[in-house]
Homo-oligomer: A and B are copies of this chain.
């Protein structure tokens, strides 16, 4: 199964972003991809750099405009799409939601970001209520997709729960970048840590991982903050964490041929699921043991 991820930059023009994504989805499909992953909140700039009540206007319902638009493309091209949207669930209730469009254009399922960050320039707790759908893979014709979102990538628990629920692959639409005030050393540590922890989820669970980030510098729009230099470096790795395809900081499409049966082979030589000490893991549901 050939999978692709699209790494790109965005503008404040939603229609323009959607058209750009559509063009790149067409290109990826033409190159044989059957599963195509977009990066986090791919319909616009990363608005969470400041807390602005007006920005809730950017949200949309699911189903809605984007699922209609991309649903038609998925159906036409017979590809499965992983989208990432600012979901308006009800008046005053919003989520950071990823979803999968099936090859027939229907919504296969959705995942609401469970771990929501809140850090300088990433004020997501202002916008997004934490997810309430749990860690359930989305069943599709392209496999059981363990779709998670950005901040989730730092939590081994999220990856493990997707694996225990039968995921064939872990998929992370993401939007992460550098604070310009950080030193080059700190930037290098952050990028390497980001790649390392996601590769570790592949290793711990013997599952391939697709991580799709955005690129481009986005200046904070309200209080003239420093902005975020989105670091790209999207990648696809195999079930032992080995990198199959990786990007630098330019717009690109990455491809990988994935064989989900390889997880069975890897788990036979590294039978971690056999040996988990589930009798001794109860404290994982605690905040801290004190």
Contact = CB atoms under 8 A, between A and B. Distances in A.
Contacts of A154: 203-204, 270, 272
B241 A280 contact: no
Interface string A278-290: 1011111111111
A214 B277 CA distance: 26
Interface stretch (A1-9, A76-84, A161-169): A161-169
Contacts of A119: 269, 271
Interface stretch (A50-58, A92-100, A109-117): A109-117
B164 A275 contact: no
Nearest to A270: B154
A72 to B, nearest CB: 34
A286 B135 CA distance: 14
Q: Is the interface of A mostly helix, strand, loop or mixed?
A: helix
Contacts of A241: 189, 192-193, 196-197
Max count, chain B CB within 10 A of own CB: residue among A117, A156, A203, A269 = A156
The number of times this chain is found in the oligomer is 2
A193 B197 contact: no
B276 A287 contact: yes
B156 A200 contact: yes
A286 B278 contact: yes
Contact of A275 (B116, B160, B289): B116
Contact of A280 (B135, B156, B242): B135
Contact of A193 (B115, B164, B240): B240
A131 B274 CA distance: 16
A164 B200 contact: no
Interface in A232-272: 240-242, 269-272
Contacts of A281: 157, 161, 284-285
Contact of A165 (B115, B130, B289): B289
Interface string A125-165: 00000100011000000000000000100111110110011
